[in-house]
Chain A
Amino acid sequence: MTGPTAPKTTGETNAPPKIRLRGVRKRFGANVVLDGIDLDITAGESLVVIGGSGTGKSVLLKCVLGLLRPDEGSIEIDGEETVGLSGRARDRVNAHIGMLFQGAALFDSLPVWENVAFGLIQGRRGKREDARARAMACLDEVGLPDRVADLFPSEMSGGMQKRVGLARAIAAQPDIVFFDEPTTGLDPIMADVINDLIVATTKELGATALSITHDMASATKIGDRIAMLYKGKLIWVGAAKDVFDSGNAHVDQFVHGRADGPITQEAEAD
């Protein structure tokens, strides 16, 4: 059996990493979800973390976002240690981060434009008129017409909600954007539209992107590099173009979607 191999966690450049993880561990009771994650993401790079359901991708993202606190390890953003930050210090870090949630996580009680402008109005205490103008520009950027601005999220399709979520993620012009399963629940055409929008908006912003997905079409399209998470460890990190020829049996099985292979055998053995 081909076991997990130690990955190269850094990109090809010598630039200081925008996001740096060292020895990140997180467990829930006896279940070890993250088991010593080391990862560097350089500025302007788009890294995609792939892995099966329940392998800890979302937990990894939430740890970087500060929504969960790792049990051990270090997470630096722009050279600043963020583990343990709270209150205004955390808000200051988050002000540079945009996030597209899996289900878009739009606020039901607010119209679309206020959802998009939320961070500008509530987080940055900006004027409502200015925030609305920025929201309209962002909606236009993600291909939504002006008429949707006053709709409520419940009046929109899943694809439109994802676009609004993307507009909200980029509204504050963040340096870093996180994407949590951006194409889950969408039809293949809409998924490709969202992928194109992600690539276009992050390039436009010049932002660093960290995405998690198990959709390989999405991963190869939006990622410069891909990392695979398995049993709490990163078992492979490499260029997106190499993922289908990684030489790692676990990665091969996952990216080709084969039922037989080491992942299935080990899961059954567990």
Chain B
Amino acid sequence: MNVLAIVGRVFLTFLIQVGRLSIFTGRAVGHMVRPPFYPRLIGRQMVEIGYYSLPVVGLTTIFSGMVLALQSHTGFARFSAEGAVATVVVISITRELGPVLAGLMVAGRIGAAMAAEIGTMRVTEQIDALSTLSTNPFKYLVAPRLIAGVTMLPLLVLVGDVIGVFGGYLIGTTKLGFNPATYIARTAEFLEVIDVVSGLVKAAVFGFVIALMGCYHGYYSKGGAQGVGAATTNAVVSASILILILNYVITELFFAQ
């Protein structure tokens, strides 16, 4: 077996995928910003992403806030810095945990659903039917999902931030002995606008990536049920990896000295 040939084939396949994704992204963004729009479809996707993801994001962030309060308290007690718990919780939640955890949860829930739905439409010729009915599939299927992803994930993260901070507050005041007023004052004292804004920017980027991966893998799925299954897996895995990579890149852009 020629090892070089295998390496070359893998590399060429990678380049083809990157090229295809780049063209797909360019077309999708073009249709996202150019009319006509489909308000009914955008609204439906917003409800699906924003409203129906709220329970899972809320649960994730509240327990993360609670754990964070517990962990930081036990850790900071080693050098008598327990007073920083509220600050650590709010900054960790708004900058990192809120957007990343919400992103990963939504990638699992929404990215998979998008890939499965669009993939099924592909293998049952529904996407071809759209084209024959003078309706652009990018305009009808992809653009509404991208718009909904970019707009709803920041809102979801904002709510998740509040719930996560509340989780820390619950543990801080009921278990760790903080005075409620002091805890709230400490939470607000060191929180800066950039902490929240950076998290919301991350959320918007993650929302775009989740919708893009869901649509891309669904759009190019083939081979029946097995192909749709593979598209769903690929959508979740690629979106999750991209979220973690982009999280670092955006953090670097905002906070690197």
Contact = CB atoms under 8 A, between A and B. Distances in A.
B135 A62 contact: no
B131 A105 contact: no
A172 B134 CA distance: 11
B134 A124 contact: yes
B205 to A, nearest CB: 28
A99 to B, nearest CB: 4
Interface residues of A, number: 26
B124 A103 contact: yes
Nearest to B38: A122
A159 B36 CA distance: 35
Interface in A21-40: none
B125 A123 contact: no
B119 to A, nearest CB: 13
B128 A105 contact: yes
A122 B128 contact: no
Nearest to A96: B134
A101 B129 contact: yes
B124 A123 contact: no
A108 B117 CA distance: 10
B67 to A, nearest CB: 39
Contacts, number: 55
Contacts of B140: 122
A101 B130 CA distance: 11
B6 interface: no
Contacts of A107: 121, 126, 129
A142 interface: no
Contact of B125 (A97, A103, A118, A124): A103
A124 B125 CA distance: 21
Contacts of B129: 99, 101, 105-107
A231 B131 CA distance: 28
Nearest to B36: A125
Contacts of B126: 105-108
A78 to B, nearest CB: 16
A66 B134 CA distance: 11
A67 B134 contact: no
B80 interface: no
B249 to A, nearest CB: 34
A94 interface: yes
A122 B124 CA distance: 20
A144 interface: no
Interface string B120-146: 110011101101111110001000000
A122 B121 CA distance: 17
Contacts of B135: 118-119, 122-123
A102 interface: yes
Nearest to A91: B134
Interface in B1-42: 36
B40 to A, nearest CB: 10
A65 interface: yes
Contacts of A65: 128, 131-132
A-B CB proximity, top 7 nearest: A123-B134, A119-B133, A105-B125, A91-B134, A105-B129, A99-B132, A122-B135
Given A67-B131, A108-B120, A122-B134, 10 more contacts: A67-B128, A94-B132, A94-B134, A101-B125, A105-B125, A107-B126, A107-B129, A119-B133, A122-B135, A123-B134
9 contacts: A66-B131, A91-B134, A94-B132, A101-B125, A101-B129, A105-B126, A119-B134, A122-B134, A168-B133
